[in-house]
Amino acid sequence: MGTIAGYSGRQAHRCTWRHSLESLMRITVCQLPDRTADFERAWNRLAEHALTRRSDILVLPEMPFYPWPCDQRKFDPDSWRSSLSAHRAWTRRLGELRVKGVLSSMPEEENGRRFNTGVVWSQRDRVRFVHRKHFLPEMAGFFERTWFSRGLAQFESEKLAGAKAGFAICTELWAMDIARHYCKRGVHFLVTSRATGSESIDKWIAAGRTAAMIAGAFAVSSNRFSFERNFGGAGWIIAPDGEILGLTNEREPFVTVDCALAIANHAKSTYPRSALNLAQ
């Protein structure tokens, strides 16, 4: 039996699994500042963390490279163009993180329609736009139906660095049928880039734990952070059994954990997935 040690600061998570060392993936989640003035310094610290921890895959928050625009009730073309430009510029800097892959969401425009789209970046393929956000809230702070068109209800698994990942961007996490779908697709990681408030952290963590158990996958999430705009941080890495392996906070904005793909593979055939025939 091999011993797999995932780490989150001073805390250690240990589990045993036959041959797990052959399929070990080191995942980093984070909380990044919403303010442009603070972002560059946080980015440099994140790059240093990823290099020191030898991260394989890094998850970024929802549309991370420009201040959140969707708190404006009326669509602002100038803010939209600035967000597109900022994301194009920062995309060219993803190589600075020195990881095998990056998962996030970015603004996308096609034929006059605007989308919030999940992206996969790798040194080999660069950026691939893979999933357009389907569930869009329309409420104070999050007027997303005003800002975006609704993507199709397509939730395909994506391959990255030998692992399979599935996107559930922010609000999509609450649609647990998506987690059930990804269980059938055999994903190892359920990826949730977020822009969520500090008052709802406990609810979001509960959703992440539930989705991880339904999907039989590691739930991984990164969030924005801002006192002024009330973004709550709390990026997470949650095991397929619902155990929280790592959780970011103001003092520890980056967390890295070793995840054995074999554990996610095995989880698909165990309770509660087996009782619901989710893997059939």
278 falls within a domain: no
Domain CATH for 139: 3.60.110.10
| 3 has a pLDDT exceeding 90 | no
Domains: count for the chain: 1
74 falls within a domain: yes
Residue numbers of the domain that contains 205 = 2-267
pLDDT at position 45: 98
Q: Helices (H) and strands (E) in the chain — how many of each?
A: 6, 17
pLDDT in tens, 106-131: 999 999 999 999 999 998 878 999 99
pLDDT at position 7: 36
273 falls within a domain: no
pLDDT at position 111: 96
48 falls within a domain: yes
For residues 144-182, one letter each, b for 16 or more C-beta atoms within 10 angstroms of the residue's C-beta and e for the rest, the string is beebbbebeeebebbebeebbbbbbbbbbbebeebbbbb
274 falls within a domain: no
277 falls within a domain: no
Q: What percent of the chain has pLDDT over 90?
A: 88
pLDDT in tens, 131-140: 999 999 999 9
Q: State both tokens at 57.
A: 């895959």
